[in-house]
Amino acid sequence: MANASVDLGRIGLWTGVLDSMPSSAANELCAEAAELGFQTIWIPEAVGRDPFVTAMRVLENTTNVKIATGIANIYARDAMTMANAQRSIEEAHPGRFLLGLGVSHLHLVEWVRKHDYSKPLTYMREYLELMHKARFMAVGPNDLPEIVLAALGPKMLELAASETAGAHPYFVPPEHTEFAREVMGPDALLYPEQMVVIEEDPDTARSIARQHMKTYVALPNYANNLMRLGYDAGDIENLSDNVVDAVVVWGTMDSIRSRVQAHFDAGADHVCVQVLTEEPKQVPDGWRTLAPVLIG
């Protein structure tokens, strides 16, 4: 792994399932994930619980698991609030929290939060500058702890490499990991997410995958990224088998292990796997199945 101040381990978990249960149950589940060997759990921000509250609750109620945001929406709070929330968690739980930032998507920013999404790259660049200038008159780190950006295209990847520790690409095949490494160079951290369906029947596996993918391919950020990699717009819209199989790995445990390894071979420093299931309550069983395969 590259020189990271937060040691995420080799394999982590990406999940939105914590919002589907009481906070006390989420704490217990995160503790179990750590016992299984998953050192880091990545959590999203959309219209559910505040990820900083979730992070603090989990960190306070576990001993060794780490929490990363995948991602915290920069339109959800101003730069000083974001910077000082990060500092506050770092002071309380040193080395156990990684802030992943992202510009989210037009519908979540303009329709839900009523902000202007016309120049997300510029907004991110200025936001990072303001974070570094934010005053913090409390006990805690003066310098900002480690940050990574949700980055897909070359300009955001370049910004991630030049102004933060690196990138956390989401909804990507291994060829994007290779592309990201080429754009960012050898020194930036690269933490891609990989979707997994634990099912060997092709029809069943792809049905579960499509159930989750249909939301993402309707979003320009993700659709444009796949087209940049050479996938046909019609195949993306219709979720053809080749698009499903590129983004989501399914099949035998060997197939899943090989796909995760493909990200490492392409330049990843850490891979966070997201188990896709028909019902949220089935996700932890997937973690238990994958742990001996991916962690060893």
Whether the pLDDT of residue 3 is over 90: the answer is no
Query: DSSP class of residue 295?
Result: I
Tokens of 155: 């300009």
Nearest-angstrom CA–CA distance, 267 and 71:
21
The answer to whether 55 and 23 have CB atoms below 8 angstroms apart is: no
Nearest-angstrom CA–CA distance, 263 and 258:
9
- Helices 23-36, 51-60: axis angle to 10 degrees equals 60
- pLDDT (average), residues 102-110: 93
- Residue whose tokens read 């940049």: 228
pLDDT in tens, 123-157: 999 999 999 999 999 999 999 999 999 999 999 99
Nearest-angstrom CA–CA distance, 43 and 226:
23
- pLDDT (average), residues 216-245: 98
pLDDT in tens, 77-105: 999 999 999 999 999 999 999 999 999 99
Q: Which CATH architecture has domain 11-197+267-295?
A: Alpha-Beta Barrel (3.20)
Indicate the domain borders of the chain.
Answer: 11-197+267-295
Q: Give the model's confidence band at 1: pLDDT under 50 very low, under 70 low, under 90 confident, else very high.
A: very low
Which region holds residue 212: left if phi is over 0, alpha if psi is between -120 and 50, else beta?
A: alpha
pLDDT in tens, 22-56: 999 999 999 999 999 999 999 999 999 999 999 99
How much helix, strand and coil, in percent to the nearest 5, is found in the chain?
50, 15, 35
- Amino acid at the residue 224: N
Tokens of 284: 């932890």
Q: Give the model's confidence band at 2: pLDDT under 50 very low, under 70 low, under 90 confident, else very high.
A: low
**Sign of torsion, CA 18 24 29 30?**
positive
Tokens of 236: 């993306």
**What's the pLDDT score for residue 35?**
97
